[in-house]
Amino acid sequence: MNIIVTGGAGFIGSNFVYYMLDRHPEDRILCIDCLTYAGNMSTLARAMENPRFTFYKTNICDRAGIYEIFEKEHPDMVVNFAAESHVDRSIETPEIFLQTNILGTQVLMDACRKYGIERYHQVSTDEVYGDLPLDRPDLFFTEKTPIHTSSPYSASKASADLLVQAYHRTYGLPVSISRCSNNYGPYHFPEKLIPLMIANALNDKPLPVYGTGENVRDWLYVEDHCKAIDLIIHKGRVGEVYNIGGHNEMKNIDIVKLICAKLGKSEELITFVGDRKGHDLRYAIDPTKIHDELGWLPETRFADGIDKTIEWYLSHKSWWETIISGEYRNYYERMYANR
């Protein structure tokens, strides 16, 4: 089987590439990535040595380029990870998010219609549901929770989800959608909370925490997420949405304090900065549907996953130290200075 993985040079996409190469030796993996700031070819160095892996540097908004790849490779499945994904960046430049996350999705599905496909899978986010109150721990997002977005990022992802469902209803395109909670693990870009705190703590730099750090996120180890998507594209029902959650709710401030403790760093490094605009309070996913239908449950406890993640960053310093420079450093200064 030929499987296209878009956004495969990014965090979750690259982990999925390696997972599929390891677990499905009969398949070819065709990676499409335009290598924006968050895409990194060094992330795919090991995959590039595998004869079953092919890389295409192409933007998913490039219709001619995408059609050329489909014409050449005749893919059986498409798993779309390609997205602009950082909420703060979406507040700065929302138009980029609309272009990639909505129009890029349309181009991919048009290619699937034109050349035929067994399954198009859209990787989405729990952020399309908005947030939950901190004082209602009994509430969770289900697949029936209404869409209620808070940022240009989540609005663009919700728009893409609706477009995917429309292509299924209107054109009969065989699709599925997954909405995941916050991922963590290897190759996580250093602008996101956990890798940012690890990198800064190791360098004894301030640890910027929005507001009071009381915001709650449900953390999902990235390999567990990959396993869930693998199940969905092979056994999940066409036209369905599946929520993928980690059952690991943590306050942001507790995550930061835990990282300080693990690395033997003082909590005095923690610096509270002005809160993000429209900052969601709590995310929490109910993954009952994917468990009941496909037998999936998260396997990695947060206590184990965070240890593995910290160890990975300690043993791959050259990967993230190279990234923390240039454009990213300039962006970091813009976002956290004077807040």
Distances, alpha carbon 187 to alpha carbons 23, 24, 244, in Å:
19, 21, 20
Q: Which of 56, 50, 1 is nearest to 22 (CA)?
A: 50
Whole-angstrom distance, CA of residue 278 vs CA of residue 190: 22
| Residues recognised as catalytic | 126-127, 153
Q: Where are the alpha helices (DSSP H) in 221-301?
A: 222-235, 252-263, 288-294
For residue 38, what pLDDT is reported? 65
pTM tops 0.85, yes or no? yes
Contact 100, 119 (CB under 8 A): no
Query: Cβ atoms within 10 A of the Cβ of 339, count?
Result: 12
Condensed to tens digits (0 to 9), the pLDDT of residues 130-162 reads 989 889 989 999 999 999 998 889 999 999 999
Hey, which residues does 125 pair with through a beta bridge? Answer: 180
More reliable by pLDDT, 15 or 321: 15
Residue 105's φ and ψ, nearest 5 degrees, are -60, -40
d(CA 280, CA 210): 11
pLDDT digits (tens, 9 = 90+) for 59-85: 999 999 999 999 999 999 999 999 886
Given this model, what pLDDT does residue 338 score? 55
State pLDDT tens for residues 211-255. 999 999 999 999 999 999 999 999 999 999 999 998 899 999 999
Q: What is the largest CA-CA distance in the chain?
A: 57
User: 10 Å Cβ neighbour count for 148?
Assistant: 11
Does residue 337 register a pLDDT over 60? Answer: no
Whole-number pLDDT of residue 254? 96
Residue 57 has pLDDT above 70, yes or no: yes
Q: Is the dihedral of CA 179, 69, 168, 98 positive or negative?
A: positive
Q: Which helix (H) or strand (E) is 154 found in, with range?
A: helix 152-171
